[in-house]
């Protein structure tokens, strides 16, 4: 069965929705297709047109060669996902930028829950997941991935936040069994919940901008800004037994107990020793 609904993201409609939210985004563009919104927005920011160096958003109705963390591919069907990148300049010390993807994940989980009533959390470090979305699968328990976040630095103060969220796909249109979509999570409510997508997308963009400005006003301190507590609250990883596969090939087993000062995942091994995971894949083995 195929969902009849598709998204209808348009430049003017999205601009109007952002203007109604009273959050200035001077440059907004929805394109029919992009290989990767992060790559193409980075090129625009680095180009000759100065408008892109302000707060700007690039949205693709179809992303043909998107990439996720650790250079994984992220491909979507046309008009079926929220695929966008936001450029924003922040006055932060270099170490504070490690909190950007975690903060974005937390506020997007909050926003989707409030807007749609979908139980979304964050699987460390940057996977948006729907809780209790199906039978248990190895490494994911009953969670299913609905979206991901990829952040990159540009220039001295700029950051590009790339987001991909599965929206209208049915089960047959998803690439892997561990994935889901907002439509599947909504079930019978999906036709009224997503609409054409422009207002929902504007709300997500506003949440991201507001959270990053909050971090900026707090001098880059996630605790002072309140974002640390929000990251902890939205985490589905903390309090679970995990297997962490690091990028250098090391494999760790232990309990995910907290977030380190740099946003890394604190894993306590069986001997009580705590290690901080800063990159790699984390698989959930069982709830604590």
Model pLDDT for residues 97-148, shown as the tens digit of each residue: 999 999 999 999 999 999 999 999 999 999 999 999 999 998 899 999 999 9
Residue 62 confidence (pLDDT) = 94
Q: CB under 8 Å, gap of 24 or more: what pairs does 223-231 form?
A: 227/99, 227/102, 227/103, 227/106, 228/259, 230/103, 230/106, 230/107, 230/110, 231/99, 231/102, 231/103, 231/105, 231/106, 231/122, 231/259, 231/263
pLDDT band at residue 287 under the 50/70/90 scheme: low
Smallest CA-to-CA distance from 139 within 166, 178, 176, 165 is with 178
Residue 192 confidence (pLDDT) = 60
- Residue pLDDT, tens place only, 31-63: 999 999 999 999 999 999 999 999 999 999 998
Q: Which of 28-32, 63-67, 192-196 has the highest mean predicted lDDT (pLDDT)?
A: 28-32
> Which segment of 143-152, 164-173, 267-276 scores lowest on mean pLDDT?
267-276
List domains and CATH numbers for the chain: 11-232 (3.30.930.10), 237-287 (2.30.30.100)
pTM of the model as a whole = 0.93
Query: Whole-number mean pLDDT of the chain?
Result: 91
């Amino acid at each position: 069965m195929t969902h009849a609904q598709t998204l209808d993201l348009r430049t003017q409609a999205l601009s109007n929705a952002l203007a109604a939210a009273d959050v200035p985004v001077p440059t907004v563009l929805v394109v029919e297709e992009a290989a990767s919104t992060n790559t193409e927005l980075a090129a625009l920011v680095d180009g000759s047109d100065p408008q892109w160096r302000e707060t700007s958003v690039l949205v693709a109705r179809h992303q043909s060669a998107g990439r996720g963390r650790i250079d994984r591919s992220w491909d979507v069907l046309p008009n079926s996902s929220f695929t966008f990148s936001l450029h924003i300049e922040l006055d932060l010390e270099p170490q504070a930028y490690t909190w950007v993807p975690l903060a974005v994940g937390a506020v997007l989980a909050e926003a989707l829950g409030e807007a749609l009533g979908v139980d979304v959390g964050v699987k460390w470090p940057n996977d948006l997941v729907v809780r209790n979305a199906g039978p248990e699968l190895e490494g994911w328990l009953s969670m299913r991935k609905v979206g991901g976040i990829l952040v990159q630095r540009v220039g001295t103060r700029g950051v590009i936040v790339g987001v991909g969220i599965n929206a209208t796909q049915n089960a047959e249109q998803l690439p892997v069994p561990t994935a889901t979509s907002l439509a599947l999570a909504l079930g019978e409510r999906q036709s009224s919940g997503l609409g054409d997508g422009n207002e929902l997308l504007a709300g997500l963009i506003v949440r991201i901008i507001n959270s990053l400005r909050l971090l900026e006003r707090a001098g880059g301190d996630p605790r002072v800004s309140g974002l640390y507590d929000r990251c902890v609250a939205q985490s589905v990883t903390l309090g679970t037994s995990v297997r962490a596969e690091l990028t250098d090939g090391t494999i760790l087993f232990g309990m995910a107990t907290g977030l380190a000062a740099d946003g890394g995942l604190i894993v306590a091994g069986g001997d009580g020793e705590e290690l901080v995971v800063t990159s790699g894949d984390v698989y959930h083995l069982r709830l604590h």
